[in-house]
Amino acid sequence: MKRALLGALVAAALGAGVVAPGASAGTECEGLPECIRVVGPWVSVPAGPLPTYFRVRCPGPGQTVGGLDADFPRGGGGVDVTFLGALGGPVGPGITTGRDVVFVAFATRPQAGTFRPLLGCIPASGGGGRSRTSYEPIRRLAVVAPAAVGTMLSAARGPTLTRRVKTVRLREGARQAASHSCRPAERLLSFSTAIAFRTRTAPPTAQLASIRATARRAGGRVLVTVRGRPPAGVRVELQIHAVCVR
């Protein structure tokens, strides 16, 4: 497999990592004295100008993403991959990342491509990360000005964006439906979907393109229709992202 390094987020002493079963030997744990490798599924990236978003999470509470990598099929997979991170300094686990990371992939060829996300997670005792996830940056603007009567006015906190993610295992039917929404106090701003295959090797291009998800907005909900039959014995997942504002 060809692997592309997405970024080293932390400098630490060299040491042996704790490897999850079936994990690839990527660079996501390099430089981390304690590390849990997490191997995601093969994510389908349809051709076209729109990005594909896919979230991967550390397995345990309190864990923080300390490194990232990705697997690609031979020939590169036909995708370019980055990730969403929170603003803050210095850049590092608990500031740039949290327990979750959202990978962002663009197709670089006129056909479906794929990649497999990899995480290197720092155990709860191995890093002092914040609980806020990487894809929920919060910007606070505070302005203080004198009022006409001599009192002080302070601006209210600005809007907060939150990415709500739902993962559904697809059944072996030819047509399926799913839905997702923001929480009651939130408003739906945008949405997206992704299809992923939990296989040892990358699915062929024809298989990647054989299952398609179409999403539309219905009031405050995201309605998704999936067309295409999952291969027998293969776990295929639909991930729905709802970007919400309150």
In contact, 211 and 174? CB cutoff 8 Å: no
Instruction: Give residue 136's pLDDT.
Output: 34
Q: Is 181 left (phi over 0), alpha (psi -120 to 50) or beta?
A: beta
Confidence tier at 25 by pLDDT (50, 70, 90) = low
113, 2 contact by CB (below 8 A): no
Classified as helix, coil or strand, 213 is strand
CA dist 7 and 85 (Å) reads: 11
Provide the whole-model pTM: 0.78
DSSP string, 161-177: EEEEEEEEE--SSSEEE
> b or e along 10-23 (b: 16 or more beta carbons within 10 Å of the residue's beta carbon)?
bebeeeebeeeeeb
**Chain segment 28-78, per-residue pLDDT in tens:** 999 999 999 999 999 999 999 999 999 999 999 999 999 999 999 987 778
Gap between the terminal Cα atoms of the chain: 42
Q: Exposed, middle or buried, 3 (CB in 10 Å: 0-12/13-18/19+)?
A: middle
Tens of pLDDT, residues 113-128: 999 999 999 998 644 4
Q: Any idea which residue has 């993610």 for tokens?
A: 165
Q: Which residues contact 50 (CB under 8 A, 6 or more apart)?
A: 192
Tens digit of each residue's pLDDT (9 = 90 or more) over 183-203: 999 999 999 999 999 999 999
Q: What is the pLDDT confidence band of residue 156, given thresholds at 50, 70 and 90?
A: very low
Q: Report yes or no: 124 and 95 within 8 Å, Cβ to Cβ.
A: no
Confidence of residue 152 (pLDDT cuts 50, 70, 90): very low
> What is the per-residue pLDDT across 83-96, written as a single tens digit (0 to 9) for each?
999 888 888 888 89
70 Cβ neighbours under 8 A, 6+ residues apart:
3, 4, 6, 26, 81, 103, 115, 116, 117, 118
Picking from 138, 156, 143, the residue whose alpha carbon sits closest to that of residue 245 is: 138
